[in-house]
Structure 1
Amino acid sequence: MCGEPPFPRSRLAGIGDEAARSLDGQLAALGRLGWGALELRTVDGEAVADLDAGTFRAVATRIRDAGLGVVCLASRIGNWARPITAPFADDLAELDTLAERCAALDCRYVRIMSYPDDGLTEPEWAARAIDRVGRLADRAEQAGLTLLHENCAGWAGDRADRMLRLVREVGSPALRLLFDTGNGVPHGYEAFGTLEKVLPHVAHVHVKDAVRAPDGTVTYTLPGDGRARVADCLRLLLETGYPGTFSLEPHLAVRPHEGMPARDGAEAPFVEAGRRLERVLARLAPYARPVAVPEGARR
């Protein structure tokens, strides 16, 4: 690694289905990287909450036998496919299922978003989104979970002032922020400036990078090769003592929201992106403040 000491792999994870559709492929990719944690979204194309009980038990056993922890379950709650007008009962049911599955996986984080508007006025959209996230946070707190709102789809997805308003008005210890370094490029905002404003509330980080062509086309790149200021974002997090996990979501071969679902064969670019992330973090390690044991999993 060009002479730099390696960044602690205990603080690195990956969204498994970005590497492979099958659980075996996901575990193999993390094994190649030597990382000890997985962020779980889908297995064999099925969302974690949709796996039948027997399949889920087998998944949990397989992950445990591989010696891996699970740092977060990436839900569909409030995401690009569930606008604010969609039945709220679907989100509540998914959270209840994921609460049980978090307990089985020794995991306490669930990723959410804050609902596309579906034609509502901004004030009504805001009120409904804040109300829903608040009710979800109440339920999460009762289950001992923390919801992580991602800077992606929804009312508070692309503006720091809305993210801060969401956290303030929900007012729950069960709601924190998930910051994705690369989401600003496709969503049209400057991610580093957003991170500066919301930093105290960030409890989990996704790493990706991208470039936008003049025609608006977005191409995802290895971390550090795009225009998302990945290194600047990671340095800021390290300098200010961020204690959590850096979870790789490179989008090189898998982009569900663009009709590119998880398929086997994505392992090689995922591993390449992981190695690049390690090198970027190793160069930034001298700027890091000492931190306690990383947050994100109970293990």
Structure 2
Amino acid sequence: MSKFILSAFADEIDPDLKVQMDVLEQHDIRYIEMRGVYGKNLVQYSLEEVKEIKKRLDDRGFKISAIGSPIGKIGILDDFEPHLELFKHTIEIAKILETSYIRMFSFYIPKGDDPAKYRDEVIRRWEEFIKAAEGTGLTLLHENEKGIYGDTAERCLDLLTTLNCDYVKFTFDPANFVQCDVETYPHAFNLLKSYIAYMHIKDALYSNHSVVPAGYGDGKVKEILTELYQRGYEGFLSIEPHLGNFVGFSELEQGIVDPNLPEGGPKQFGIAANALKKILSQIERRE
């Protein structure tokens, strides 16, 4: 039996942590993939400030599913040493927040250049991350993202197999693959399924790369979650709305859009959360 645990990028609801937790509570979600809070990226806070954030989370019974860090989201030609120091700081933040996961990337490749040209440097930098995280008990999650080395399924697999590290795993983001014109399922999923330790719930359209609620795009979110469910996946499904006023908003069926919610982050989050819950109820009913 699979165990899906819902989490979310709560900074898309509101910068204020209290508002984030209030809205998540309404959706019975008790985990946050923390990227930004109070208008600042989490990794920019001092450890003392992070301890205060942890206290506020504890007071409300919230936990952190992962640090939604920007590590690896710099150019491959940018100076690496300060970034490595930021990663070491992020490790200390993860310890304070009592999470096992840090979400990371594999560096932006200069536009128009062949990513293969920078492969060795990507591997070298990731080996430095691995060394820094050794013995911490943390798992480093590489996410596929447009424009980085690991933006295709093949290059993600290349990175994961070359590093061959038991605490380097994969965060599968269907929308990001769609935005790179990669087939999410079965192609990317089958290549990467043995490394998937975490899911981002985001969907998109091949036609214009716009982000839509889960199940309304070309990301095959339902098919992916169905197979994970059948495989006994136990882990997080992290909702990342990224919605805006997408085409087809008015076409969403009843139950997905809550008419009582004000415009803005809480409403968009509600749409994203309800779309995922609809898929999960369909999967569970099939059992």
Q: TM-score interval w.r.t. the shorter chain?
A: 0.7 to 0.9
Q: Deviations over 1:62-89 (max 9, x none)?
A: 111110110100111112xx11011112
Equivalent residue number for residue 110 of structure 1: 102
CA RMSD in angstroms comes to 2.3
Equivalent residue number for residue 276 of structure 2: 277
Equivalent residue number for residue 221 of structure 1: 212
Equivalent residue number for residue 232 of structure 1: 223
Q: Deviations over 1:171-209 (max 9, x none)?
A: 211210110121122222111220121101000000011
Equivalent residue number for residue 160 of structure 2: 167
The 8 Å contact of residues 238 and 287 in structure 1, kept in 2 or not, is answered as no
Equivalent residue number for residue 135 of structure 2: 142
Unpaired segments of 5 or more residues in structure 2?
Answer: 246-262
> Normalized against structure 2, the TM-score is what?
0.86
Query: In the comparison of the two structures, how many residue pairs are matched?
Result: 268
Equivalent residue number for residue 57 of structure 1: 51
Q: Structure 1 residue 219: deviation in Å?
A: 2.3
Rounded to whole Å, the distance in 2 between the matches of 1:266 and 1:58 is: 24
Equivalent residue number for residue 254 of structure 2: none
Say which is worse superposed, 52-61 or 201-210, in terms of deviation. Answer: 52-61
The 8 Å contact of residues 211 and 218 in structure 1, kept in 2 or not, is answered as yes
Structure number with greater CO (CA < 8 Å, separation at least 6) is 1
Q: Structure 1 residue 272: deviation in Å?
A: 2.2
Unpaired segments of 5 or more residues in structure 1?
Answer: 1-6, 255-263, 289-299
Rounded to whole Å, the distance in 1 between the matches of 2:115 and 2:2 is: 43
Q: Structure 1 residue 10: deviation in Å?
A: 6.7
Equivalent residue number for residue 74 of structure 1: 68
Runs of 4+ deviating beyond 4 Å: 7-10
Give 3-state SS (helix, strand or coil) of 1:20's partner.
Answer: coil
Say which is worse superposed, 264-273 or 110-119, in terms of deviation. Answer: 264-273
In structure 2, do the counterparts of structure 1 residues 201 and 156 end up closer, same or farther at CA, with 3 Å as the change threshold?
Answer: farther
The 8 Å contact of residues 126 and 155 in structure 1, kept in 2 or not, is answered as no
Rounded to whole Å, the distance in 1 between the matches of 2:169 and 2:2 is: 24
Q: Structure 1 residue 23: deviation in Å?
A: 1.2
What amino acid is aligned across from residue 132 of structure 2 in structure 1? Answer: R
Give 3-state SS (helix, strand or coil) of 2:175's partner.
Answer: coil
Give 3-state SS (helix, strand or coil) of 2:130's partner.
Answer: helix
What amino acid is aligned across from residue 284 of structure 1 in structure 2? Answer: I
Q: What are the equivalent positions in structure 2 for 1:178-257 lying under 5 Å apart?
A: 178-192=171-185, 193-213=187-207, 217-253=208-244
Rounded to whole Å, the distance in 1 between the matches of 2:146 and 2:25 is: 31
Give 3-state SS (helix, strand or coil) of 1:271's partner.
Answer: helix
In structure 2, do the counterparts of structure 1 residues 53 and 106 end up closer, same or farther at CA, with 3 Å as the change threshold?
Answer: closer
The 8 Å contact of residues 5 and 236 in structure 2, kept in 1 or not, is answered as yes
Rounded to whole Å, the distance in 2 between the matches of 1:60 and 1:44 is: 14
Q: What are the equivalent positions in structure 2 for 1:26-45 lying under 5 Å apart?
A: 26-45=20-39
The 8 Å contact of residues 2 and 231 in structure 2, kept in 1 or not, is answered as no
Rounded to whole Å, the distance in 1 between the matches of 2:178 and 2:15 is: 26
Give 3-state SS (helix, strand or coil) of 2:78's partner.
Answer: coil
Equivalent residue number for residue 92 of structure 2: 100
Q: Structure 1 residue 54: deviation in Å?
A: 4.0
What amino acid is aligned across from residue 32 of structure 2 in structure 1? Answer: L
Q: Structure 1 residue 253: deviation in Å?
A: 4.0
Say which is worse superposed, 267-276 or 120-129, in terms of deviation. Answer: 120-129
The 8 Å contact of residues 180 and 207 in structure 1, kept in 2 or not, is answered as yes
